[in-house]
């Protein structure tokens, strides 16, 4: 995942923190770097070091990105390895200090896999953000890879992923309630209207986040608040 040099994003985070209004919260998302030579210990240490960096430059909350469908290295699907995810979360928890910690995951359709992940994360993080863009095969009108050979799959985001995200959120909320886990579920995916924001809250989400929709509708959150001031 390309990134600006540390001196650039450190400055950006500080500037953002200084411009926040009362009641606003800044979540800083971090991800460890992996290549063919990276071992597990170095990968975990990178997550922990970045968590401490984000904390030190002003993050109110740090999010560990355990899912990126557009890279082919080890950081792309950490959430599918519950043991590795817990190891990273444990190291990041120690590095975060009092700062709340989230993990962002992709879609998990299997209830047993979701249960295993949430149980392992319980007590290590404060919440789980779901879902990141699901990975799908993308083709053009002729049925050929839309992005060319070697890039058959890509992350899909936007309104079309709402149903997938809703199933995951409902499933995770049910597991948290059934097992008495101390985790909050934060919903994201297909959030393109106030009605969908309300639907996620009604499904038990602690908070609702929007990504691509805000590019097209920068007033989405305001419209949702006007529709329901209790959100």
Per-residue pLDDT, 70: 57
Can you give the pLDDT at residue 136? 78
Query: What is the rounded average pLDDT for all residues in the chain?
Result: 91
* Highest mean pLDDT out of 13-17, 106-110, 212-216: 13-17
Average pLDDT over residues 113-126: 97
* Superfamily of segment(s) 6-227: Aldolase class I (3.20.20.70)
Mean pLDDT of 42-71: 91
Measure the CA–CA gap between 125 and 91, rounded to whole angstroms: 11
Taking only the tens place, the pLDDT of each residue in 131-142 is 987 777 888 898
The Cα 226–Cα 231 span in angstroms is: 9
Name the token pair of 97.
């200090």
pLDDT at res. 25: 94
Q: What are phi and psi of 187, to 5 degrees?
A: -95, 140
Tell me, rounded to whole angstroms, the distance of Cα 171 from its chain centroid: 17
Domain ranges in the chain are 6-227
Residue 74 has pLDDT above 70, yes or no: no
Q: What percent of the chain has pLDDT over 70?
A: 96
CB atoms within 10 A of CB 117: 24
pLDDT at 208: 95
CB 86 within 8 A of CB 125: no
Check residue 77 and give its pLDDT: 80
pLDDT in the model for residue 69: 58
Looking at residue 27, its pLDDT comes to 96
pLDDT in tens, 176-223: 999 999 999 999 999 999 999 999 999 999 999 998 898 899 999 999
- Residue owning tokens 């989400």: 205
Contact 107, 134 (CB under 8 A): yes
């Amino acid at each position: 995942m390309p990134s600006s040099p540390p001196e650039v994003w450190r400055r950006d985070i500080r500037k953002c923190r200084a411009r926040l209004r009362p009641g606003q919260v800044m979540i800083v998302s971090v991800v460890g770097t992996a290549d063919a030579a990276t071992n597990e210990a170095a990968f975990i240490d990178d997550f922990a070091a970045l968590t401490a960096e984000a904390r030190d430059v002003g993050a109110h909350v740090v999010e560990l990105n355990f899912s990126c469908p557009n890279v082919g290295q080890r950081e792309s699907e950490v959430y599918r390895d519950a043991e590795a995810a817990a190891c990273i979360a444990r190291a990041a928890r120690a590095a975060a200090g009092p700062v709340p910690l989230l993990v962002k995951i992709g879609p998990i359709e299997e209830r047993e896999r979701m249960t295993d992940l949430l149980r392992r994360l319980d007590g290590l993080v404060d919440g789980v953000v779901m879902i990141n863009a699901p990975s799908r095969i993308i083709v053009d009108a002729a049925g050929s890879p839309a992005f060319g050979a070697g890039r058959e799959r890509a992350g899909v985001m936007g309104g079309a992923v709402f149903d997938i995200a809703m199933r995951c959120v409902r499933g995770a909320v049910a597991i948290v309630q059934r097992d008495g886990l101390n985790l909050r579920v934060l919903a994201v995916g297909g959030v393109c209207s106030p009605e969908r924001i309300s639907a996620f809250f009604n499904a038990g989400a602690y908070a609702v986040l929007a990504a691509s929709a805000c590019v097209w509708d920068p007033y989405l959150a305001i419209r949702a608040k006007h529709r329901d001031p209790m959100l």
